Homo-oligomer: A and B are copies of this chain.
Amino acid sequence: MQPIVVLVSPQLGENIGMTARAMLNCGLTRLRLVRPRCPWPSLVAKSSSAGADLVLDGATLHDSLADALGDTHRAYAMTARPRNMAKTVMTPRDAMPHIQDHITTGETIALVFGAESCGLTNEDISLCTTILTAPINPDFSSLNLSQAVLLVAYEWLLTSQAAPVPHTPLKKGTLPARKEEIYGFYDHLESELDRTRFLRVPEKRAEMVRNIRNIFERATLSTQEVNTLRGIITSLVTGR
């Protein structure tokens, strides 16, 4: 009953180790690594973790962010830079009561962090439900990876003891669809739009796809809604 930390393409074992330490400082133990660019398992990570073996030993490896998020219901992407994307932006502090609430209703939540050098790509962010931005010094806003994890994990820790306020846009008793269902819907829609040449201009395709996904990320679809939307695509395509 706690969020999962997802690191996308981390470069330094040391930062993974310090991330594990910061997580465990705040009571978090679930770590996923997407295509780490350092050897794994990593002795450097271990020695930097100050004994957070529990976190490192349980970390799982993933080929893609979509794979790492597949069984989650909502993903929060941490980024310092404004992205001008059609997606809700919250501070970690403001987001945590919501995250807490979602977890209480049985959702699996991911907290997603990008690589040391350049953070998350716009494509990564298009797979996430919400953007987290800490109101850091705008003239020096690049946080060390493990520091970014600590800021969010610490907010989680402080909020996890407070009483949750129900706040869900879905029908009572309904969880959001798992991300793999959502991504399956995206594949379905985008492959049809490729076929109909709606996405025919190559230099615009990536942005159009991101913009379309952002619409549905904001909507936080349930499984039934995903099925409805897929039914709608099929119905429109086949004319029956």
In the bound assembly, the distance between CA atoms of A219 and B25 in angstroms comes to 33
Interface hits, A39-87 → B, CB 8 Å: 50-52, 82, 84-87
* B221 and A215 contact, CB distance less than 8 A: yes
Residue of A86, A196, A197, A198 with most partner-chain B CB within 10 A:
A86
Let me know if A193 and B157 touch, CB within 8 A.
no
CB of A160, distance to nearest CB on chain B (Å)? 11
- Cβ-closest chain B residue relative to A155: B154
Decide yes or no whether A237 CB sits under 8 A from chain B.
yes
Closest chain B CB from A108 CB (angstroms): 20
Number of residues in A with C-beta < 8 Å to the partner? Answer: 80
The reply to whether B215 and A88 form a contact with Cβ atoms under 8 Å apart is no
Distance of A175 from chain B, by nearest CB (Å):
12
Question: What 8 pairs between A and B have smallest CB-CB spacing?
Answer: A135-B163, A236-B236, A198-B235, A219-B219, A196-B235, A88-B169, A24-B140, A218-B219
Residues of chain A in range 168-187 having any CB-CB distance to chain B below 8 Å = 168-172, 174
Contact B154 A50 (CB under 8 A): no
Copies in the complex: 2
**A to B CB contacts below 8 Å, 20 in the list:** A50-B142, A52-B140, A82-B172, A86-B171, A87-B169, A88-B167, A91-B165, A94-B167, A134-B154, A150-B150, A150-B151, A151-B154, A196-B238, A196-B239, A211-B228, A212-B232, A215-B221, A216-B219, A219-B219, A236-B236
Contact between A197 and B240, CB atoms less than 8 A apart: yes
Q: Within 8 Å of chain B (Cβ to Cβ): is A100?
A: no
Q: Is A27 an interface residue (CB 8 A)?
A: yes
Option from B26, B164, B172, B198 in Cβ contact (under 8 Å) with A84: B172
B144 contacts A21, C-beta separation under 8 Å: yes
**Please, which residues of chain B bring their CB within 8 A of the CB of A121?**
none
Q: How far is the CB of A91 from chain B (nearest CB, A)?
A: 5
A141 to B21, CA, bound (A): 10
Q: Closest B-chain residue to A226, C-beta based?
A: B215
Complex CA distance for A171 and B87, rounded to whole angstroms: 8
Alpha-carbon distance between A163 and B137 when the two chains are bound, in angstroms:
9
In the bound complex, residues from chain B placing their C-beta under 8 Å from that of A9 are none
